[in-house]
Structure 1
């Protein structure tokens, strides 16, 4: 008797397009419902417009070290050999074990693992039962200056020692933008994977073959809409996507209040 175990799939345009995306991969799993049980694993990236970019899919028996190792291994084998990738995920033990396995292909420096800030904030809220601590942690995680980060952490420590003790258990590099060394490209959550799960709304109730076929049609439609949007901006003479334009305008406005002082440094060497 043959029993279905796992299936992995990725589409050619997704594989080719990822070469032009940020070197960031968000991974997440969601349960299948209906007659056919299992877990749908999804890997997404982020394009230059800061929009979700579907990358790869798999249906497995559940979330564990073996299934995550297999899924990530398939991505390395079939999708990308890019080095310096940043993988953003929740803190599922299976994901952590898979990424720490050198045979899978995602150990440093080939890839760098980072945690989803939203998941840590949610777990912190459950631990201390305080929405304020959750929001203060998220604010600290997004800080890009050490001074501002330290101020936020001091506020948390003074307000709730238990919250600070919980945060201290997680390495700064795993959640703090300031300590990130630019690996995340400003992406702090796995919301991109969650967003694409909405694109697949209704798919989790389908048989496996129908699920694969639906992802094909949804991805095709998704790319078509993005292409039409890009062509429309080009026809209007707009050089950058809406999100990028907003970032440039915000930074330009902020820079008006900055002052740059030039210094001449003289070095004197003596024997």
Structure 2
């Protein structure tokens, strides 16, 4: 079964499409992504994250030619761990992959080099712009792995063995209930932002009350030894 999903504004999994196929190959992934493209089109700044399956990469280049493709850092980190058998290498790789600034990325990769110099070369060969947030040409936000797809697969694990028609009905019923419950919760919201975003905003505002800000430049401030880049 093929799955495409994203995150909604309340940080919840939003299923987009499901497809059935006998195997994962160039033809099946091209078919599935073509059907997905028929439904959602190709929105501006669209980013597709997947594991390093060659058929997915080929299909994305062909079907979503104007969109960006990124790799799941968890799958790559597992390969690194298996090859170099060192938890420190994996730890610093994760930090490097998640870094927002190139300077931070380089600092963590230097730590990787101190432990296993050849691990740096191995990671860079996997096209750094596909897994490092600091080098990614688009916006990945917090979506660095395919965890949401894995979570969806986990929910459907037992149902996958059902006949196709029964499985389809199971999917309809399950997500019908999901969206009903979310609609009820959405109706209770009385804030401008979603519940998830509002809580994050309140938390950051509360922390900022204990900080002293000092101007460094037009777009940069220093705050209690921390540098916070302005979004204005």
| TM-score, length of structure 2 as denominator length | 0.85
> Aligned equivalents of 2:89 and 2:213: distance in 1?
32
What RMSD in Å do the two structures reach over aligned CA positions?
A: 2.0
> Aligned equivalents of 1:46 and 1:224: distance in 2?
17
| Aligned residue in 1 for 2:214 | 259
For 1:192-229, what per-residue CA distance to the aligned partner results, in whole angstroms no more than 9, with x for missing partners? 11122233242111000011111101110111121122
> Aligned equivalents of 1:239 and 1:218: distance in 2?
29
Structure ranking higher on relative contact order (CA contacts 8 Å, 6+ apart): 1
| TM-score, length of structure 1 as denominator length | 0.73
- SS of the aligned residue for 2:5 comes to strand
Q: How does 1:97-108 map to 2 (within 5 A)?
A: 97-101=58-62, 104=63, 106-107=64-65
* Correspondent of 1:243 among 175, 189, 196: 196
Q: CA deviation at 1:185?
A: 2.6
- SS of the aligned residue for 1:177 comes to coil
| Aligned residue in 2 for 1:77 | 38
> Aligned equivalents of 1:249 and 1:162: distance in 2?
44
Consecutive unaligned residues in structure 1, runs of 5 or more: 1-39, 264-271
- SS of the aligned residue for 1:100 comes to helix
Consecutive unaligned residues in structure 2, runs of 5 or more: 219-232
Q: Is the 8 A contact 2:49 2:70 kept in 1?
A: yes
For 1:45-82, what per-residue CA distance to the aligned partner results, in whole angstroms no more than 9, with x for missing partners? 11111211000000111111111111111111234342
* Correspondent of 2:12 among 43, 47, 51: 51
| Aligned residue in 2 for 1:170 | 126
- SS of the aligned residue for 1:60 comes to coil
Q: Is the 8 A contact 1:64 1:94 kept in 2?
A: yes
Q: Is the 8 A contact 1:65 1:98 kept in 2?
A: yes
* Shift in alpha-carbon separation, 1:133–1:230, aligned structure 2, 3 A: same
4+ residue stretches of structure 1 with deviation over 6 A? none
Higher helix share: 2
Q: Is the 8 A contact 2:88 2:112 kept in 1?
A: no
Q: Is the 8 A contact 1:141 1:175 kept in 2?
A: yes
| Count of aligned pairs | 216
For 1:12-45, what per-residue CA distance to the aligned partner results, in whole angstroms no more than 9, with x for missing partners? xxxxxxxxxxxxxxxxxxxxxxxxxxxx000001
Q: Is the 8 A contact 1:87 1:114 kept in 2?
A: yes
